Amino acid sequence: MTNDNDSRKNTDCTHEISSLQEYEDYLMKRYERYELYKGRLFYRGQSGEYKTFPPTIARDAGYAQNEAKIYEEAISMAKEEEFSGLHFPIERLSKMQHYGFPTRLIDVTSNFLLALYFAVEEINNVSFGNVYVYIADGHDMESDQVQVLSLLATIPELSVDEVIQKYEELYDVTLSRSQVLEYCDKPVFMSYSESLGKSNPRLHNQKGTFLICGNKVVDDGISSEIQSLDIYYPMDVIRIPYEYKERILNELDLKYGINESIIYPELPSIADYIKRKYRQETANIGYRTVESDDSFYFERKGTWRKIILNDNGEVTDEQKQDEKKQQAMRIGAIKSTVLQIIDELKNEYNSMSLFIYKTSDDLITNNWILRSHWIDPDLKENLKPMPLGEKDEANEGVYWTLGKSSSLRAEYNERLFVEDKTLFISNHKTFEAFMQIHTEILNIFKKNDIDSFKTKFLEHKEHLGKLCRQLGDFGMSKDIEFNNLLNCYESLSSFASNIDYASNSNENPMHSLSIDFDTFQKDIDIILKQAPIWKDKLGITDEEYSETEPAPRKKSDYQYVQKIPVSETAIDVFFEVQIKVNEDKTINIFGKTNLFDEAILSLSINAKGLQMNLGKVTILNGEFNLPVMKKFELGQYHLSIVLPIYTTQSKDFIEKVGIQYENLKGEFVKREGIAPTIKYGLDFVIK
């Protein structure tokens, strides 16, 4: 599916990995295991600092204006043997791309391991690496689309008539005007070609191929604007943080022999590989312990610590200006620093849990990049705690756990931080509205009349629930002490649901309510005591407080995008459903559908605003049947049948319908929310 509007979506990361095994597992589960996508998966690995993907010919106005001249001069000025045996434009463009000439080709690969190599090869580049995953039809180098698009590079004055004439001269085939316009307007992915690889050893070693770019069609003519890879939505953007680049590069070499000498089979690349392989890196990372707690259990003395790297409590202006470099630390260097910390402390403790953070913001959101657990090997077996993490074979007693998606989480968490004045006013004004209802229902509760309490609570339930959901959802502060107060507001977010549950408790609801009121009163007391102090500390005047309304935190809206085009042969989904009401008011649900066998459907019934999940059924021979043993009251009901997202379905079913249900269509297919689903509804009455 093409993207004509927003190229930024091409760079949005969807997943983060920290090891080769994690990368392989993810792609195998998501894509590579499906025969449906064999030959249709393309990958591009590159540094994450680049946000758009134009071909090199479009990166300079001079290149773009003189594309045909560049093509002709490259061939005429080169040694005769360089282009000997290469008769067609795509073959020559491939050779030119190899040697760094500006062309309309963009490098991609059919091998996801090689794409990963390209994403991590620049280990000294502190930007993260990205692997972009595309699903699209591949075109042979002999296809009309590839031949037309490559021919465009050879024509100085582009026009439909000129393309038709040149194509006929070169290939002895006459194309129609509509064919030329259709082929010119859209870049296409080329299938991997052994014949291109024979003339280009690097391309062969890289299992490389290309996306070949076209020219935008405007007013039934070919414009000079060259389309880029940005027109395609990637299915996935997999991030490799800087910390893990070198580690993964070494894993690729160790497990598959993928290294510089293979990817770039020239002597300078072999030299670079050997130098990197045997270079010894020393760690010189400062750190600061910001929280700690010691524990004692018989002869075991343990410590638990939170540590910020590259932070001694005094950050210079120069460090602030180059924060990105300040945070750039390879995971090997981070581990070496942690081992130094363990060595410094192990004479005092025989058990340690160390949580490592890159920044103070990560500390606030508890987004650690690494956790280390050390257990003294000499500690008695019955006193040893259970080890946490992966064992370090080279360092006895040490275990490691890598933070999950710490780079992605840091980006997301940055959106949570809100200016402190706004946070205080939003939370406290909502708290004041909350307290009006809280005081009213608490006074009724003290009268020990459960029925009156329930009546009053139901009167305020909807509004109270809304206020509770808002409390604590206004954002976070970068001030740890102020966050302690904000946590008290947030703790009240469950008040309405807890009181609702307790008031309907079958066993002694008054006792349950008493416990809940007492529990929440602790946070209320802290707020009442601390709020005036923080209002003064933040410099909020009475006038400012009075005039400012609570500001809901801005949240990112996710818009589902159909990235794989719906197939022209997609089936139009239908349902035929019957509901049999038995004498005892239980029901049986029978259905027929043209959905493929092994589809898993979720069924539910809605009545008077309340939803009851009935369970799941699996399609067999185009039919499904679900007996529901619950006895229903007389009245109107709505049956909902849903085909959930693809991750809940069987592999065999997805082989037929695709991961974006691109082989299904019709009124019941809903392409919205987080992923496409199928939704069918039926009203019925029990008399």
In terms of Cβ atoms closer than 10 Å to its own Cβ (0-12, 13-18, 19+), residue 272 is middle
| pLDDT, block means (10 residues), the chain with 687 residues | 45 84 94 92 88 91 94 90 88 89 94 95 91 95 95 95 95 95 94 72 70 94 92 93 94 91 69 70 80 91 93 48 58 92 94 94 93 95 93 96 90 89 96 96 93 92 93 90 94 92 82 93 96 96 93 76 93 96 92 96 85 92 92 89 93 95 96 91 90
**Residues belonging to the chain:** 687
pLDDT of residue 412: 85
Query: What end-to-end distance do the CA atoms of the chain give, in Å?
Result: 49
- The Cα–Cα gap between 239 and 22 comes to 12
Could you tell me the two tokens for 307?
Answer: 């540590």
Model pTM score: 0.84
129-135 and 351-357 beta bridge pairing: unpaired
User: Is the four-CA dihedral 337, 340, 341, 342 of positive or negative sign?
Assistant: positive
pLDDT of residue 9: 45
Question: Is 293 strand, coil or helix?
Answer: strand
List domains and CATH numbers for the chain. Answer: 7-254 (no CATH), 287-315+327-412 (3.10.310), 416-547 (no CATH), 571-686 (2.60.40.10)
Query: Cβ neighbours of residue 668 under 8 Å, at least 6 residues apart?
Result: 573, 574, 575, 678, 679, 680
What are the backbone dihedrals phi and psi of residue 531, each rounded to the nearest 5 degrees, phi first?
-55, -50
What are the backbone dihedrals phi and psi of residue 604, each rounded to the nearest 5 degrees, phi first?
-150, 160
- The Cα–Cα gap between 444 and 456 comes to 8
Helices (H) and strands (E) in the chain, counts: 25, 26
Query: Cβ neighbours of residue 150 under 8 Å, at least 6 residues apart?
Result: 88, 89, 90, 93, 104, 212
pLDDT of residue 515: 93
User: Is the four-CA dihedral 55, 59, 63, 64 of positive or negative sign?
Assistant: positive
Integer-rounded Cα radius of gyration of the chain: 32
129-135 and 41-47 beta bridge pairing: antiparallel
- The Cα–Cα gap between 236 and 11 comes to 9
Could you tell me the two tokens for 602?
Answer: 């979720």
Q: How many CA atoms lie within 13 A of 418 on its CB side?
A: 21
pLDDT of residue 572: 97
DSSP states along 622-686: TEEEEEE-SPPPSEEEEEEEEE--GGGS-HHHHHHH-TT-TTEESTTEE--TTS-EEEEEEEEEE
By the 8 A CB rule, do 483 and 417 touch? Answer: no
CB count within 10 Å of CB 556 equals 8
Q: In Å, how far are 67, 270, 663 from 601, measured between CA atoms?
A: 55, 55, 17
The percent of the chain in helix, strand and coil, each rounded to the nearest 5, is 45, 20, 35
Could you tell me the two tokens for 604?
Answer: 């539910």
Residue type for position 241: P
351-357 and 370-375 beta bridge pairing: antiparallel
By the 8 A CB rule, do 91 and 84 touch? Answer: no
Instruction: Put the strands of the sheet holding 105-109 in their side by side order.
Output: 15-16, 236-240, 129-135, 41-47, 105-109, 208-212, 188-190, 138-139
pLDDT of residue 5: 42
b vs e for 327-362, b when ≥16 Cβ sit within 10 Å of the residue's Cβ?
bbbbbebbbebbbebbeeeeeebbbbbbbbbbbebb
Could you tell me the two tokens for 320?
Answer: 């602030």
Angle separating helix axes 450-470 and 420-445, nearest 10 degrees:
170
* Residue among 501, 500, 504, 426 nearest 467 (CA): 426
- The Cα–Cα gap between 125 and 22 comes to 22
Query: Cβ neighbours of residue 9 under 8 Å, at least 6 residues apart?
Result: 3, 233, 561
* Residue among 286, 268, 297, 391 nearest 329 (CA): 286
pLDDT of residue 321: 42
pLDDT of residue 243: 93
What are the backbone dihedrals phi and psi of residue 225, each rounded to the nearest 5 degrees, phi first?
-75, 120
Would you give the DSSP letter of residue 30?
I
Largest Cα–Cα separation, the chain:
101
pLDDT of residue 274: 75
- The Cα–Cα gap between 63 and 59 comes to 7
Q: DSSP H helical segments within 257-359, as ranges? A: 260-263, 267-278, 317-321, 323-327, 331-345
CB count within 10 Å of CB 534 equals 19
Q: Which helix (H) or strand (E) holds 251?
A: helix 242-256
By the 8 A CB rule, do 422 and 547 touch? Answer: no
Quickly tell me which residue has 């001069």 as its tokens: 73
Query: Cβ neighbours of residue 258 under 8 Å, at least 6 residues apart?
Result: 113, 114, 117, 252
DSSP states along 31-70: IIT-GGGTTTEEEEEEETT------GGGSSHHHHHTHHHH
